Amino acid sequence: SEDTQQQIIRETFHLVSKRDENVCNFLEGGLLIGGSDNKLIYRHYATLYFVFCVDSSESELGILDLIQ
């Protein structure tokens, strides 16, 4: 539903936006996103966040390269 989508977007933004600039661009998904089965891979450019939610079989570096 739309409420669930909005909750996922809020949780994702909260997880990604609060991270320090010096940490890696990979993190475990939150409770709504699927927990430890899924990962968030993101890149922050200026005021934009590009975020991919992938399962554990995907390559983190491959997805990060895709974002660039």
Number of domains in the chain: 1
Q: How many residues does the chain have?
A: 68
Expressed as residue numbers, the domain containing 42 is 2-67
Q: Sign (positive/negative) of CA torsion 25, 29, 32, 37? A: positive
CATH code assigned at 32: 3.30.450.60
pLDDT tens track for 42-52: 999 888 999 99
> Closest Cα partner for 15 from 29, 3, 1?
29
The DSSP 8-state label assigned to residue 46 in this structure reads T
pLDDT tens track for 23-67: 998 888 766 666 667 889 999 988 899 999 898 888 999 999 998
